[in-house]
Amino acid sequence: MCGIVGYIGSKEAYPILISGLKRLEYRGYDSAGVALLDTTLNVYKKAGKVSDLENLVANKNVNGHVGIGHTRWATHGEPNDVNAHPHLSQGGDLAIIHNGIIENYSSIKETLLKKGHTFKSDTDTEVLIHFIEDIRDNANVDLEEAVRLALNEVVGAYAIAIISKNHPDLLIAARKGSPLVVGVGLGEYFIASDATPIIEYTRNVIYLEDKEIAIIRDNKLVIKTIGNKIIKNPYIEELNLSLESIEKGGYENFMLKEIYEQPRSILDSMRGRINAKTGTFHMSGLKEYEHKFINAKRIIIVACGTSWHAGLVAEYLFEDFARIPVEVEYASEFRYRNPVVNEDDIVLAISQSGETADTLAAIELAKSKGAMIFGICNVVGSSIPRMTHAGAYTHAGPEIGVASTKAFTAQVTVLTLMALHIAQLRGKIADKDLRRMFSELEAIPAKVEQALKSDDVIVKIAEKFKDAQNFLYLGRGYSFPVALEGALKLKEISYIHAEGYPAAEMKHGPIALIDANMPVVVIATEGANYEKVVSNIQEVKARKGRIIAIVSEGDEKIKSMAEYVIEIPKTEDCLIPLLATIPLQLLSYHIAILRGCNVDQPRNLAKSVTVE
C-alpha cells in the first residue's frame, strides 16, 4: 500500500510525478503529495485523491528537475493534510516519502523528542527522516551514510525515497519488504513502487532487493546494501509492459475494462500451456519440480482476499483430480499459528500483486521449515516470484481496479491446468478425460464472452436490489468459492453487507436472516449438486427470500422458482468458477455504480497490501 514515485534528470519532475501517482493510486488514495527541488524545496500535500493535490498546486511553483511523490494508504495517523507525505526533517532540508511501516518508530521518536525534535504529524515516516537527519548531524556523516546507518536500526518494512535541498543532484531510495523499481533512462532516473509510472520514459529497470539502497548522484547510480556492500553490475531488466494495458481504453473505469478483458486474459493465462488435440501440457516453472508434485503428501495453499478464494477452488481441483490432500490457509493466520509444515509438503502461494505482506511472511515461514514453494502471481518481477523456488505467472496483464476480477479468473485457470497436469502425472486421470477437459478449457474464453452478454438483465437486477442492506450468496461444490467471491466483490465496491455460504450450511444460521427483503444469489448450474441446490432454493423461497439464480443456459426448472435468472453457458463442473464469477462481478459492479460508489478505488481498501 502507498505508492511512491521519484524523478531526477533534465526534465521537469512534476508532470512525471503526477501522472505516475495517478497510475499508483490503486495502492492507496487517502492523501497525495509531492516535494520538488527548485531553488527551494517545495512540498505540496493534501488529503484525498491525486486530483485534489493537482487542484492544490494549480498556480504554485512546481518547477524542479528533482522530485518525489506519494499516494497514501494510512497506517499511522489519520488521513489528513498533515499526515500526508512527503515529510520534512527538523531543519526542513530533507524530504522523504515512504511505503511500509516502521515498527520501532515510537522508541526512536522518544529518543528524538528528548533531543529536542518536534513532530508535525503522527506518522512513523516523519520519525524516520528526523532520525536520518539526527545521525547525519551528530555522527558527522553524509546523507547517504546517515540513511544507511538509520536503516540498520529500523525494524519493519519500507520503500523510501529522499531528496535534499542542499544536494540538487542527489536522490536516495531504499527498500525492505515493500517494492521499489529503479528506471534507468538516458541521463535520468526514476524510482517507483511499480513500473507503471516509468514505461513511457524507459524500459530498462532494476528491481531493488530487500535491504538495498540506490544512490543516484551526479547522474550516476550506485546500489549498495545497508551492510555497505556495493552491488556490482546490477541486473537491468527490460520491461515488457504496454502503455495501452494500463489505460482505460474507452471504458468508464478500470474495473469494467478488466471484467470485459477476461475472455482475453483467460486465454493469455493458458496460451502455450495446453494443447487439447495432443493432450500435452507445458509450464516451464513446473517442469523441474514435477517429481515433488508427484510425491507430495500435501499441498498447503497460502493467500489473502480474492486470491484465497482462488485457492479454495484449487483445493477442490487438486483433491478431485490429482488426489492430493490440500489445506487452504489465510496467510495472515498461517504465519502466526505455528503450523505443521513438512519437507514433503508443497506450498502454493497465490497473489495477484506478488507483494502481499502476509503472503510473503507465510512463504518465509514455510521455506524455513523446508517446504517447496510454488508461486502463482500476476505482477511480473514482484517479490513473491523472486522468493519462491518456482512458479507460474497468470499473465492476466496489469489489474488496476482495486477489486480483483480478471486476476481471479486467471489464477483459477492456471490452477486448473496445474491440477489436471499433476493428475496426469500421478496417473489419476484418463487420457481421454484430460483431453476433454483441455478442450473445454480452450472453449472457456468464448463462453466467458457469452456470459458477459447477460449485462442487460444484470443491470435490471441491480436496479431492483441496489438499496438492499444485505445479500446472501449460496453455492455448493465448485460454486461455493464463487459464492464467497461474489459476496466479497459486492462488499468491496458497493459497501452492502454480503455473505457467501455453502448452500446447505445456510440451514445452520443464515436462514434466520431470510425474509422478503433478502436477496439471495444462488449459483445453481447443472452438474453434480444441481438437485440439492434446487432444494436449497426451495428452502429460501419458503421463507420469502428473493432469489437471483445463476443457471445453465436453457434451464427451465429454476426459472419458475427464481425472481431472476442469469444464464451462463454449460461447461464441466470444475470449470463453473470461470463462468459463474462473471455475472457476479457485473452484478456488484452495477449495484456499486447505481449507488454512486467509486468502483476502482473503494473506500479504505488498497490493491497491494504491503502491511500486515
State the catalytic residues: 2, 607
Asked if residues 34 and 17 have their Cβ atoms less than 8 Å apart, the reply is: yes
359 binds ligand G6P (CB under 6 A): yes
Nearer to ligand G6P, 311 or 510 (CB): 311
Cis peptide leading into residue 263 (ω within 30°): no
| End-to-end CA separation in angstroms for the chain | 10
Nearer to ligand G6P, 376 or 419 (CB): 376
The alpha carbon of 26 is separated from its chain's Cα centroid by a whole number of angstroms, namely 9
Nearer to ligand G6P, 269 or 356 (CB): 356
Stretch that binds ligand G6P, among 142-150, 181-189, 267-275, 351-359 (CB under 6 A): 351-359
The alpha carbon of 402 is separated from its chain's Cα centroid by a whole number of angstroms, namely 8
Please identify which residue in 352, 383, 454, 536 interacts with ligand G6P, judged by CB under 6 A: 352
Nearer to ligand G6P, 178 or 404 (CB): 404
Please identify which residue in 3, 197, 263, 305 interacts with ligand G6P, judged by CB under 6 A: 305
Based on the number of CB atoms within 10 Å of its own CB, is 319 exposed (0-12), middle (13-18) or buried (19 or more)?
middle
Considering only CA atoms, which of 423, 398, 428, 6 is closest in space to residue 208? 6
Shortest Cβ distance from residue 329 to ligand G6P (Å)?
13
Nearer to ligand G6P, 547 or 609 (CB): 609
Shortest Cβ distance from residue 360 to ligand G6P (Å)?
9
306 binds ligand G6P (CB under 6 A): yes
Nearer to ligand G6P, 136 or 406 (CB): 406
Please identify which residue in 164, 353, 525, 571 interacts with ligand G6P, judged by CB under 6 A: 353
DSSP states of 315-345: HHHIIIII---EEEEEHHHHTTS-----TTE
597 binds ligand G6P (CB under 6 A): no
Measured distance CA(336)–CA(332) in Å, rounded: 7
Quick note: the x/- pattern for ligand G6P over 36-55, rule CB under 6 A, is --------------------
Please identify which residue in 202, 346, 607, 610 interacts with ligand G6P, judged by CB under 6 A: 607
Asked if residues 221 and 214 have their Cβ atoms less than 8 Å apart, the reply is: yes
Measured distance CA(492)–CA(497) in Å, rounded: 9
**Closest residue to ligand G6P in the complex (CB):** 305
424 binds ligand G6P (CB under 6 A): no
Cell numbers standing for residue 18: 503526477
Measured distance CA(149)–CA(133) in Å, rounded: 11
Measured distance CA(488)–CA(81) in Å, rounded: 31
Please identify which residue in 490, 540, 574, 605 interacts with ligand G6P, judged by CB under 6 A: 605
Shortest Cβ distance from residue 402 to ligand G6P (Å)?
5
Considering only CA atoms, which of 20, 70, 67, 63 is closest in space to residue 45? 70
Please identify which residue in 307, 424, 585, 601 interacts with ligand G6P, judged by CB under 6 A: 307
Q: What is the CA radius of gyration of the chain?
A: 25
DSSP state, residue 230: B
Measured distance CA(343)–CA(179) in Å, rounded: 29
Shortest Cβ distance from residue 58 to ligand G6P (Å)?
32
Shortest Cβ distance from residue 363 to ligand G6P (Å)?
11
Nearer to ligand G6P, 163 or 347 (CB): 347
- Residues, the chain, total? 612
Nearer to ligand G6P, 31 or 353 (CB): 353
Quick note: the x/- pattern for ligand G6P over 399-418, rule CB under 6 A, is ---xxx--------------
- Count of residues near ligand G6P by CB under 6 A: 16
125 binds ligand G6P (CB under 6 A): no
Measured distance CA(151)–CA(211) in Å, rounded: 8
Residues 6+ positions from 230 with CB-CB distance below 8 Å = 222, 223, 224
Residues that bind ligand G6P (CB under 6 A): 304-307, 351-353, 356, 359, 402-404, 605, 607-609
